[in-house]
Amino acid sequence: MAAKAYPGPSWSADGHRPHFTPDYGRHGTLWVYGALAHREGRVFIETAEVRDTVSWLHFLDGLESFVPEGEVYLIMDPLSLHWTLATMLWNWGHQRFHFVPMPKKAAWLNLLEGFWKILRQRSLAGRNLRDTGGLAAALHAGVDDWDRHPTPFLWGRTPRPKRHFKRTYVYRI
């Protein structure tokens, strides 16, 4: 994510489009790693200045305390960083973690991708961020706010309600 000015909501409370002057300059970038416990809706993120194996392993170590016990299935995109030798050695030492590769060009299968949009809207909308420290603080504040009242992310829809008829007729043949 980039430290820059993010537009606010598309419409103000009085029904007019708010004024926004775009800022085309970026004031640094920040890499954000994230995990979603989809049944509870809790989220864990870790930010890093560079995207490398050291920051990825630091995220995995934090993830170990985020998920207290039991089997963990990590759906991971095909980024080469996620499948390095150091990552596989970390996984060998942590047997309860199972890495599941996500097919290429199928990011919509990962439920965390939908949360990234929610996080950007909740924590970055209307802010003018001038450095990566402010960006990291805004992202962590947004996740803390989300985790106070998490919403589960589940596949599928709720079943359609059964129709209740005013009258029920029984026909005999």
Say which CATH number the domain at 169 has. Answer: 3.30.420.10
DSSP assignment, residue 96?
Answer: T
- Name the residue range of residue 1's domain: 1-173
Q: Domain count of the chain?
A: 1
- The answer on pLDDT for 118 being more than 80 is yes
Rg from Cα positions in the chain? 21
98, pLDDT greater than 90: yes
Q: 7: Cβ–Cβ under 8 A, 6 or more apart, which residues?
A: 20, 22, 125, 126
- What is the pLDDT at residue 168? 63
Identify the band that residue 165 occupies on the pLDDT scale cut at 50, 70 and 90.
Answer: low
The confidence band for 90, taking pLDDT boundaries of 50, 70 and 90, is: very high
Distance CA(66)–CA(115), nearest Å, equals 17
Rounded to whole angstroms, the Cα distance separating 132 from 119 reads 16
pLDDT > 70? residue 75: yes
pTM, full prediction? 0.74
- Among 37-51, 82-96, 119-133, which stretch is predicted with the lowest mean pLDDT? 119-133
In percent, how much of the chain has pLDDT > 70? 83
**Half-sphere exposure in the Cβ direction for 37 (13 Å, CA):** 19
> Is 80 exceeded by the pLDDT of residue 6?
no
pLDDT classification of 38: cutoffs 50, 70, 90: confident
pLDDT value of residue 29: 84
Beta-ladder partners of 74? 99
Q: Supply the DSSP symbol for 19.
A: P
Dump pLDDT digits (tens) for 16-30.
666 656 666 667 788
